[in-house]
């Protein structure tokens, strides 16, 4: 390189450009990761197709896809905002990525904004794919789209808070194990594919407080039963969001 | 402004639990210089650098980088400072060029990424994910990430640890180019030759304090005396030789025909020795001057040997 190549000319890129670049990179990393795709795309798709086609679980009256699609959408949000984000962020912390970015011109809040945007982009891709499949399986949703949007946003906030709390406090390997375990438990016990009514009453009321139950039940109220706005479920998600994001903000360690 | 130090550390104390990593450290880094922070593992090098980078909050003392507080003024400081961590810092699934391009996008006037990739020999990394790169490739990527934003000041934490000799020299060349273009460089190392070859200024750290600081020449001069050796006919008259030499010199014949002069070895002393030999009909052969190295100085100051000596290029 010729003389003067390295002559200092420092400066941060404009914030929107930094956030856009970071969002694009985070999204690419997520879509390139096979294990992540398994959680965010393949498992929800398989569950939707399999359980709609084969009557394994009694999903009540009506077409089973009408019961399943809202639950699978809730699962998709959980897989990206909670499981995927927890695992990815946990390893970024472990490998010093968060530390290194902390010395770059990108402010911390902008990094978190980019992470959130990346989660939202991924969710949009998931929802488009899963909705298309559900329609192909004969899904006929009802209700107010704005209520659906609000529930999805609240669910994303709740799961992100919990995912980041886990990623920022536990070891990467522990996060990997715990996030997958939680995913599996909530898949079974969170009203995603198994109706909560199948559980004993006492258990049911506890399970109903889980974020994934609140999201899947809330989405079902709107999309399957045409409710205008399930405030109870929205409230539960809001409480999880406040607790999760608050705890993550307080306890998250960058290194 | 030009002459204001780029780094000013005063009375820095940093503890981790019961362990004191840095214990009242003072360090001044001149603008435009290459400064080596030299010390054995665990001496407090990384803690000091990471405090300057804003990662650690001092328990006592003050740290100023480019006149700013690395913690309180982090947002203003970060675009101006390049950082190379000792390890990691890259998404395990990212490719070398992808990560470097990303870092470039976070800066207003970055270097040309393709040229930098070629300069550091990262072109053959192709589409390989970071986790599959060799240690040396990972190090060079990390170095590229530190300089791509065209910073005024770079902190390089052990930039050549684990590199093969060729990659080390390529890294040294880059440091020299940065220096030539006016970038201030602070690097930590436990390689003596690295400090001696690259640095204008060396700060020797031991047990969390700077025990000596100065140019390699000054530090070496400040140490013990130097040595001049030659071989010739056995049994030369050492008494006569000593009389010819300035006061304070020593002369010995440790092995028959092998002579050792100790003292302040300069051109004048060398001339004195050769003319004495000429007067006595002696043909001195294999004349060698052993300068004191930083290694000797370090050993005297700390009583410790540095590791990594075997990698001496």
Residue A246's CB: how many other CB atoms inside 10 A? 12
Is the CB of residue A8 less than 8 Å away from at least one CB of chain B?
Answer: yes
For range B5-23, the mean pLDDT: 95
Hey, are the CB atoms on B147 and A99 less than 8 Å from each other?
no
**A58 in a structural domain:** yes
CB contacts, 8 Å: B105 with chain A: 13, 17-18, 21
Split at pLDDT 50, 70, 90, the class of B40 is confident
- The pLDDT value recorded for residue A57 is 67
CB contacts, 8 Å: A95 with chain B: 88-92
Rounded to a whole number of angstroms, the distance from the CA of A44 to the nearest CA of chain B is 24
Per-residue pLDDT for B231 more than 80?
Answer: yes
Hey, are the CB atoms on A18 and B88 less than 8 Å from each other?
no
The tally of domains found in chain A comes to 1
CB contacts, 8 Å: B106 with chain A: 12-13, 18, 21-22, 104-106
Per-residue pLDDT for B297 more than 80?
Answer: no
Is the CB of residue B178 less than 8 Å away from at least one CB of chain A?
Answer: yes
- Distances in Å between the Cα of A31 and the Cα atoms of A67, A100, A212, A230, B239 are 28, 22, 23, 33, 82
Per-residue pLDDT for B303 more than 80?
Answer: no
Task: Provide the sign of the torsion angle of the four alpha carbons B73, B75, B79, B85, taken in this order.
Answer: positive
What does the block give as tokens for B193? 């030759």
Q: Are A100 and B90 in contact (CB under 8 A)?
A: yes
Domain hosting residue A52, numbered range: 15-251
Split at pLDDT 50, 70, 90, the class of B309 is very low
The DSSP 8-state label assigned to residue A194 in this structure reads S
Which residue does chain B place closest to A99, by CA atoms? B89
Q: Which of residues 81-100 of B touch A (CB under 8 A)?
A: 81, 83, 85, 87-94, 98
Q: Are B40 and B63 in contact (CB under 8 A)?
A: no
Is the CB of residue B173 less than 8 Å away from at least one CB of chain A?
Answer: no
Q: Which residues of chain A have pLDDT under 70?
A: 1-2, 56-62
Name the residue among A4, A14, A25 with its Cβ closest to that of B102.
Answer: A25
The DSSP 8-state label assigned to residue A196 in this structure reads G
Predicted complex: ipTM over 0.85 = yes
- The pLDDT value recorded for residue B313 is 32
The 3-state secondary structure of B154-192 reads EEEECCCCCCCHHHHHHHHHHHHHHHHCCCEEEEEECCH
- The pLDDT value recorded for residue A242 is 96
Instruction: In whole angstroms, give the CA distance from residue A1 to residue B112.
Output: 11
Split at pLDDT 50, 70, 90, the class of B304 is low
**A240 in a structural domain:** yes
**A6 in a structural domain:** no
What does the block give as tokens for B87? 């390890």
- Distances in Å between the Cα of A35 and the Cα atoms of A31, A38, A48, A49, A120 are 10, 5, 19, 20, 19
Task: Provide the sign of the torsion angle of the four alpha carbons B145, B127, A99, A117, taken in this order.
Answer: positive
For B74-131, the pLDDT digits (tens) are 999 999 999 999 999 999 999 999 999 999 999 999 999 999 999 888 888 878 899 9
What does the block give as tokens for B295? 């290694």
- The pLDDT value recorded for residue B310 is 36
| Disruptive mutation site among A3, A8, A15 for chain B (greatest number of B CBs within 10 Å) | A8
Is the CB of residue A113 less than 8 Å away from at least one CB of chain B?
Answer: no
The DSSP 8-state label assigned to residue A14 in this structure reads P
Q: Are A140 and A224 in contact (CB under 8 A)?
A: no
∠ CA A186-A190-A193, nearest 5°, is: 100
Instruction: In whole angstroms, give the CA distance from residue A137 to residue B183.
Output: 63
CB-based contacts of A156-159 (< 8 A; 24+ apart in sequence): A156/A77, A156/A81, A156/A116, A156/A119, A156/A120, A156/A123, A157/A237, A157/A241, A157/A244, A157/A245, A158/A211, A158/A215, A158/A237, A158/A238, A158/A240, A158/A241, A158/A244, A159/A77, A159/A78, A159/A81, A159/A82, A159/A85, A159/A211, A159/A244
Q: Which of residues 24-63 of B touch A (CB under 8 A)?
A: 53-55
Hey, are the CB atoms on A10 and B92 less than 8 Å from each other?
no
Hey, are the CB atoms on B149 and A33 less than 8 Å from each other?
no
**A80 in a structural domain:** yes
Instruction: In whole angstroms, give the CA distance from residue A53 to residue A194.
Output: 15
| Disruptive mutation site among B89, B101, B109 for chain A (greatest number of A CBs within 10 Å) | B89
pTM of the shown model: 0.84
What does the block give as tokens for B99? 């990560």
Which residue does chain B place closest to A16, by CA atoms? B106
Which residue does chain A place closest to B83, by CA atoms? A103
Instruction: In whole angstroms, give the CA distance from residue A118 to residue A136.
Output: 27
The DSSP 8-state label assigned to residue A38 in this structure reads I
**A201 in a structural domain:** yes
Which residue does chain A place closest to B51, by CA atoms? A103
- The pLDDT value recorded for residue A239 is 97
- The pLDDT value recorded for residue B264 is 80
Rounded to a whole number of angstroms, the distance from the CA of B102 to the nearest CA of chain A is 7
Q: Are B263 and B246 in contact (CB under 8 A)?
A: yes
Of all residues in chain B, what percent carry a pLDDT higher than 70?
A: 94
Hey, are the CB atoms on B182 and A7 less than 8 Å from each other?
yes
Instruction: In whole angstroms, give the CA distance from residue A240 to residue B68.
Output: 40
Q: Looking at chain A, which runs of residues are DSSP E strands?
A: none
**A216 in a structural domain:** yes
Domains of chain B: residue spans and CATH: 7-221 (3.40.50.300), 226-290 (3.30.70)
Is the CB of residue A15 less than 8 Å away from at least one CB of chain B?
Answer: no
Hey, are the CB atoms on A106 and B106 less than 8 Å from each other?
yes
Provide the pairing of β-strand B285-290 with B226-231.
antiparallel
Per-residue pLDDT for B312 more than 70?
Answer: no
Is the CB of residue B223 less than 8 Å away from at least one CB of chain A?
Answer: no
The string over B139-174, giving b where at least 16 C-beta atoms fall within 10 Å of a residue's C-beta and e elsewhere, is bbbbbbbbbbbbbbbbbbbbbbbebeeebbebbbeb
- The pLDDT value recorded for residue B148 is 97
Average pLDDT of every residue of chain B? 89
**A153 in a structural domain:** yes
For range B206-218, the mean pLDDT: 89
Is the CB of residue B227 less than 8 Å away from at least one CB of chain A?
Answer: no
Is the CB of residue A100 less than 8 Å away from at least one CB of chain B?
Answer: yes
- The pLDDT value recorded for residue B51 is 96
Split at pLDDT 50, 70, 90, the class of B270 is confident
Q: What are the DSSP calls for chain B, one per residue?
A: -TTS-SEEEEEEEEEETTEEEEEEEEEEE-TT-EEEEE--TTSSHHHHHHHHTTSS--SEEEEEETTB-TTTTHHHHGGGEEEE-SS--S-TT-BHHHHHHHHHHTBSSPPPHHHHHHHTT-GGGTT-BGGGS-HHHHHHHHHHHHHTT--SEEEEESTTTT--HHHHHHHHHHHHHHHHTT-EEEEEES-HHHHHHH-SEEEEEETTEEEEEE-HHHHHHTSS-EEEEEE-STT--HHHHHHHSPTT-EEEEEETTEEEEEE---HHHHHHHHHHHHHTT---EEEEEEPPPHHHHHHHHHS-PPS-GGG--
**A161 in a structural domain:** yes
């Amino acid at each position: 390189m010729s003389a003067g190549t390295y002559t200092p000319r420092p400066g941060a890129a404009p914030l929107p450009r930094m956030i856009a670049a970071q969002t694009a990179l985070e999204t690419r990393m997520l879509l390139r990761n096979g294990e992540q795709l398994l959680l965010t795309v393949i498992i929800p798709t398989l569950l939707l197709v399999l359980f709609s086609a084969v009557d394994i679980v009694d999903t009540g009256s009506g077409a089973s896809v009408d019961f399943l699609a809202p639950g699978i959408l809730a699962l998709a949000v959980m897989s990206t905002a909670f499981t995927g984000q927890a695992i990815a962020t946990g390893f970024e912390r472990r490998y010093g990525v968060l530390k290194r970015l902390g010395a770059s011109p990108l402010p911390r809040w902008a990094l978190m904004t980019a992470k959130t945007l990346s989660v939202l982009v991924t969710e949009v891709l998931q929802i488009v794919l899963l909705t298309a499949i559900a329609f192909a399986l004969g899904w006929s949703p009802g209700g107010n789209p704005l209520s659906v949007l609000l529930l999805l946003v609240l669910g994303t906030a709740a799961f992100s808070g919990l995912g980041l709390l886990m990623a920022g406090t536990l070891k990467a390997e522990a996060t990997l194990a715990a996030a997958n375990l939680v995913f599996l438990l909530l898949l079974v016990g969170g009203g995603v594919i198994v109706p909560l009514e199948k559980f004993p009453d006492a258990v049911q009321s506890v399970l109903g407080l889980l974020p994934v139950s609140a999201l899947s039940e809330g989405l079902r109220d709107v999309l399957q039963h045409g409710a205008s706005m399930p405030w109870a479920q929205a409230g539960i998600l809001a409480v999880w969001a406040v607790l999760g994001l608050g705890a993550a903000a307080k306890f998250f360690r960058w290194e | 402004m030009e002459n204001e130090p780029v780094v000013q550390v005063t009375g820095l104390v940093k503890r981790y639990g019961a362990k004191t990593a840095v214990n009242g450290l003072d360090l001044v880094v001149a603008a435009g210089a290459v400064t080596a922070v030299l010390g054995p593992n665990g001496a407090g090098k990384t803690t000091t650098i990471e405090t300057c980078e804003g990662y650690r909050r001092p328990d006592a003392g003050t740290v100023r980088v480019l006149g700013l507080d690395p913690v309180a003024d982090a947002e203003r400081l970060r675009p101006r400072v390049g950082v190379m961590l000792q390890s990691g810092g890259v998404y395990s699934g990212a490719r070398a060029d992808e990560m470097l391009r990303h870092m470039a996008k976070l800066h207003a006037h970055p270097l040309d990424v393709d040229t930098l990739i070629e300069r550091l020999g990262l072109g053959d990394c192709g589409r390989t994910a970071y986790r599959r790169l060799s240690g040396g490739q990972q190090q060079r990527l990390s170095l590229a990430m530190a300089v791509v934003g065209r910073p005024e000041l770079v902190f390089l934490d052990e930039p050549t640890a684990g590199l093969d000799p060729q990659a080390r020299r390529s890294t040294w060349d880059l440091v020299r180019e940065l220096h030539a273009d006016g970038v201030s460089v602070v690097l930590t190392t436990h390689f003596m030759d690295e400090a001696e070859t690259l640095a204008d200024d060396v700060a020797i750290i031991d047990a969390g304090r700077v025990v000596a600081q100065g140019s390699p020449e000054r530090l070496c001069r400040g140490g013990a005396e130097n040595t001049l050796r030659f071989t010739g006919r056995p049994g030369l008259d050492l008494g006569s030789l000593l009389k010819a030499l300035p006061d304070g010199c020593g002369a010995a014949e440790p092995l028959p025909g092998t002579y050792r002069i100790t003292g302040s070895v300069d051109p004048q002393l060398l001339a004195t020795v050769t003319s004495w030999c000429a007067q006595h009909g002696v043909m001195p052969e294999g004349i060698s001057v052993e300068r004191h190295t930083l290694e000797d100085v370090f050993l005297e100051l700390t009583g410790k040997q540095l590791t990594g000596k075997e990698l001496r290029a």
